[in-house]
Structure 1
Amino acid sequence: MRASYAHLHETLGERLRRVRLIALDLDGTTLTSDKRLTPRTVEAIQGARARGLEVAFATGRMLTSVSELAEEAGLEREHVSLNGSLVGRTPRDEPLFCGALGAELVARSRAHLPAGATLYWLTRQGVVTEAGGLDRWDYLRSWTAGRHQRTVASLDEVAREPVYHLHWVGPREVLEGIAAELVSAELQSMIFQSARGPLCHLEMRAVGLDKASGLRHLGRHLGVSLEETLVVGDWLNDLEMIQAAGVGLAMANACPPVQEIADGVLPLRNDEEGVADLLESVFLL
């Protein structure tokens, strides 16, 4: 039985009628907690497309991981990956947009490896680290889905590859020291607790890049404005796109800051196929 969406129709009716693009976060939103696309969700996505709506993913995952899920969902088209740093179809195709970091910044990251911290470079083809990073691969599972990981004897071996994110795993106090030393007008950084263990993540990417900026690039390609876009998310990296979109919705399992700024909160969680229920109830009836 579907949940009720009367409150969304009442408060957002006109904006919902203007929607031409639906942008979906993956982890914690479209995927179940065990990282699956359910048959019902795939069917609902295809149903929305059959009604003439564009559907795309907007995620922190790498494009390699996104393109596999997109194929499973029948969405072999451009998506927003790496929190807006890379917008494209597959790692093999020319991207619509790439926000690679400057070579000097990437080189500087190698000089900031205090004891207790592990450095990862996020590239178009996957995550790269030196051999010492093997014991912390599991912390990167949300980005890699357990694949698309490479270890090298030295990061010098891949220094010519474009790097989109600098990523460290370690104790919070160690990561705070790295962030302070690498502070730059060209970088934005975020430290957050891992859900996979006691350590924290430090993520650095180019200033001005987030899921909202990625959707602007995708929208220009499609001829769709952010005002004509509906987004659904659950976590802090969804804040910008939820605020910028014509309709920004939070999952029932979304963290409090996301629920507070969203235009509406869905009645169901990701493990209750909340995205499928939304699409069926609002766009497919």
Structure 2
Amino acid sequence: MAKSAPAPHMSPPVARAVAVLNFLASHPEQAFTLTEIAKSLKISSATCHNLLISLSEAEFVYRTMGKTYVLGPALARMAQASLAPALVMQVARPEMRLLADEFDVVCSAYQLVDGESVIRERAAALSHVNWNARYLLNTPTRAPLGGIYFAWQQDELDRWIAEANPPLDAAERDRLLSSLGFLRANGYTFGVRTVPLDDEAVAHALQNRPEMTDYAQTEVVPGDSYNLAYVTAPVFGAPGKVAFGLSLAGFVKPIAGDAVIAMGEKLRAACDRIGGFIAGRAL
């Protein structure tokens, strides 16, 4: 197996250590002898031996009783720490701050807890520091609310729709499914107010009127105008599994369709970067 080229800024010893760890990580269900590792990475047995001793002492690799090597417990501890909610929020907060300031809105991170959406973090633009986000706390996720959690697995989607209260009729179900198709295709979704956004006072009042929001949007037309209630996107912790969502809210005037698209794409990109961190891959 050919070794991958080290990054230009890495010193040769660091590059070799990284190559060993990447090699073992790419074969997590196998154990390798010193000779097999040295041959695969095209380094001398003496160099590989010294490297494995150092990595073993640091617990980055583990030498089995069969004199083979696997990834060590230190990496498992590091991986576990990287998934800690507090650490994930350290990554999410700067993304949220940039989104809130760029679009002059409130950006919230919310999570599904016992069937309800609960806000975990919030970043507000300077113009929105006094906005109240309590209406989003402990919101039941019955259809059509909470679609970003349930759009990815068919059994969960079927159960979510079946538990709608009041039940959805055929037309409502078809429109909701179409809106989830938009979410899957674009990586974000949005809701619009069913009354005009005339000024900031109206926008404030509508925070506590979820019944005046259409949650099943199926398209964005660039030339149209939208009385946005929110734009939201999922952060995936694993394929098809949503760790939490990011939403933008606090819109005080109609937004052009092309601006909605640009906003949604930036939100989706931020969520992808956070999800990449959780999954252990750089984006």
Same topology, TM > 0.5: no
Q: Where is the helix percentage greater, Structure 1 or Structure 2?
A: 2
Shorter chain as denominator, the TM-score bin is under 0.3
Q: Whose radius of gyration is greater, 1 or 2? A: 2
Q: Normalization by structure 2: what TM-score? A: 0.26
